[in-house]
Amino acid sequence: QMKTHALGSGFVIDNKGLILTNNHVVEKATEIKVKLEKGKEYTAKVLGRDPKTDLALIQVKPDGDFPKPLPLGDSDATRVGDWVMAVGNPFGLGETVTVGIISARGRIIGAGPYDDFLQTDAAINPGNSGGPLFNMKGEVVGINTAIIAQGQGIGFAIPINMAKELLPQLETGKVVRGWIGVMIQEISPELAKSFNLKDNKGVLVSEVTKGSPAEHAGLKQGDVITGYNGKPVENAHTLPRLVAATAPDSKAKLDVVRDGKTLSVEVTIGNMPQTMEEAKASPEKDQAWGMTVQDITPELAQQLGLDAHEHGVVVSNVQPGSAAGDAGLRPGDVIKEVNRQKIKS
C-alpha cells in the first residue's frame, strides 16, 4: 500500500507538550511527526479530535529544547480592521509569517454545524492549516483553517475562544455537547410581521422534541428565543453553537417572546444524543417544491391569528429560487388545499 504524506501546522499551548491543530490535518494519519523550527522532530499522538469544529489536540513528549507555550488571547475582543499575523508552513516551505487584518467576524462557510469563523486577508495557503493567527499583542486569537479556492485575500480562522471551550474535553478524548431539543428557524420579515415582532432578531421554535429539556422547561412551538445566558441570539446559527458549548446538567437562561410578552425560561441542559435521528423533531420538507411546512398546532394558530381548528399546514421556510419561491409562497402562508384536495397535515 502506497503511503502518502500531508503537511499542516500547529502550536504549543502548554508545557506538557500539548499542540493544537486542525482535525483535518491529523484525522487520517497513521503516524504524526512534529518538526520544530530548528529541525528537531517528535512523534505525536492524538489525544482528541472534533470533526464538527475541525479541532484536534495532539501531544509529544517535551524535553529541554521544547518551545514555550503561546499565550491564548480573547477572540471575542477582536474587531474588524484589527491587524493580525498568520504563521504556518505553507506548501511545506517552512516557517512563514503573513500579515493582514480581520476582514469580518462570524463567517458561516458551510464547513460544519458550528461555523463562526474569523475572516482575514492575511495570506493562508495549503500547509497553514492548524497554525496560529496572532493579534498585535502576540496572543493567539484564531487557528488558521480554510481558504476559498481562487479567492485571493480570503482566509478563515477558528476563533480561539471556541477552542478554549473544547480543550478540557479534547484532552480527555471525548467531546460532549449540550442539547435542549428544539427545531428552530430564521425569522423572516414575513414571520416577524405574522408574530407581531419588532424585528427579525432571534429564532422561531418550530418544533419541541418530546421528553426533551426544552419541553420540561416549558418551551412551546411558536416561541421566539432572543437571548441565551445574557448573549443575544441573532440567528439560527447562534443558538445551536451556544447550547452545544454549555456543559450538560448545567442551567441556562433563555429570553423568550411569547404572545408578545417577554419572559425568562430556565432550562437544564441535556446531553446531545449520539445520533440526532432518535431525537429529531423535523418539519416535513418538500424537496421538489423547495419549502418547509409544519402542522398547525393550537399554539401556532394563536400566534398567526388563525382559527384553532384551522386545517392545513404553515409554510415555515422557502428556499430562494425554488418552485415555491417562484410561485410567490412565503413563510407564514397557510396551505389549505392542493389540487382541490384539503390538506390536514
Catalytic position from the list 54, 116, 121, 333: 54
Catalytic residue among 24, 116, 223, 237: 24
Cell numbers 426544552 correspond to 214
Considering only CA atoms, which of 276, 271, 288 is closest in space to residue 207?
Answer: 276
Count other Cβ atoms within 10 Å, centred on residue 220.
19
333 is catalytic: no
- Nearest 5°: CA angle at 84, between 79 and 88? 140
Q: How many residues does the chain have?
A: 345
Q: Of 130, 118, 134, which is closest to residue 57 (Cα–Cα)? A: 130
218 by Cβ neighbours in 10 Å (0-12 / 13-18 / 19+) ranks as middle
Structure-block grid coordinates of residue 240: 445551536
Residue 24: active-site member = yes
The active-site residue, picked from 129, 194, 212, 316, is 129
H runs (alpha helix) in the chain: 23-26, 160-172, 189-194, 213-217, 238-244, 298-304, 323-326
Cα-only R_g, the chain:
23
Per the CB < 8 A criterion, the answer to whether 208 and 219 are in contact is yes
Note whether 86 and 142 are within 8 A (CB).
Answer: no
DSSP string, 259-295: TTEEEEEEEE-EEPPSSGGGG----EEETTTTEEEEE
Is 295 an active-site residue? no
Residue numbers annotated as active site: 24, 54, 129
